[in-house]
Amino acid sequence: MTLLRRKYLIPIRPFLLRYFPVFIGVIFSGIFASVAVVMLVENHYLPSLSNAAAENVGRVLALFITLCNVMIGYGWPKWVWGMRGFFLACLLVALPGFQFSPHPLIYFECFFWPLLGLLLLRSKRYREFLAKAVELRHMRAKVVAAVKRRRQHERAIIRIKKTEVIPHLAAHPIATAAPTRATNMCSACTMTPPLASFWCCTAPGLTIKHNDRRSGISLARFVPMPWLAGGRRVDSCRVAPRYALPLRPRC
């Protein structure tokens, strides 16, 4: 079970206990402030406004609040000005509402939630949260860069291993003598491409040659297959570009 647990960059429990209340408090203050202001505008400022239009305005404000707080949580503190502007706009819209004698509770909420949100934004703990969010963003960027460098290094190692000839296979007598034997095959071998893979009719195995596209180096690899020849000489064979296997052996 320990392998399935997530590893966080910082201790998650103390971080949430200290900074989550102010973060979620700003979000709920924005939601309640938007609801109160939309109700005030719908009932007193614009009585002809339909319920569908008011609901659409509320959805747009909720999306704006969500976007600002998501970007703040990801470590972009400039989006705090979006929430500050939103709370100030709510106060400015609600200020001339006393002329219409609205419901006292709704009118009180139009001022209470924006002011609470502004106080939370100016609190010391919220400023610490912003600094921590920026620090976490930089830490995530360093981790992502380190992972990318590690993957590039692994790919480079794999590319180098592909271009290298395996020493013990390259030193094999059949593998080293494969080009000579390929040019001296039996009379049935009419085509001998220089970089083709072939199966020699006298060798108990398969010698594979190919040209690496990246480095342009010709590689050879011998795969022992003693069961192919079966202890009998094959009088004819065929060379194919990919895999050259013998025809029906003749005793």
- pLDDT, residue 156, reads 82
* Percent over 70 (pLDDT), the chain: 62
CB-CB neighbours of 19 under 10 Å: 18
Average pLDDT of 84-93?
Answer: 95
Asked whether the predicted pLDDT for residue 239 surpasses 70, the reply is no
- pLDDT, residue 213, reads 56
Tokens of 36: 């109160």
pLDDT digits 0-9 by tens, 184-211: 344 444 434 433 333 444 445 555 555 5
Higher pLDDT: 229 or 77? It is 77
Tokens of 101: 């004698």
Tell me, letter by letter, the H, E, C secondary structure of the chain.
CHHHCCCCCCCHHHHHHHHHHHHHHHHHHHHHHHHHHHHHHHHHHCCCCCHHHHHHHHHHHHHHHHHHHHHHHCCCHHHHHHHHHHHHHHHHHHHHHHHHCCCHHHHHHHHHHHHHHHHHHCCHHHHHHHHHHHHHHHHHHHHHHHHHHHHHHHHHHHHHHHHCCCHHHHCCHHHHCHHHHHHCCCCCCCCCCCCCCECCCCCCEEEEEEECCCCCCEEEEEEECHHHHCCCCCCCCCCCCCCCCCCCCCC
State pTM to two decimals. Answer: 0.59
pLDDT digits 0-9 by tens, 133-168: 999 999 989 988 988 888 888 888 887 776 654 444
Tokens of 89: 């706009």
Q: 32 CB contacts (<8 Å, ≥6 apart)?
A: 109, 113
Altogether, the residues listed in the chain come to a count of: 251
Higher pLDDT: 177 or 57? It is 57
Q: 91 CB contacts (<8 Å, ≥6 apart)?
A: 110, 111, 114, 115
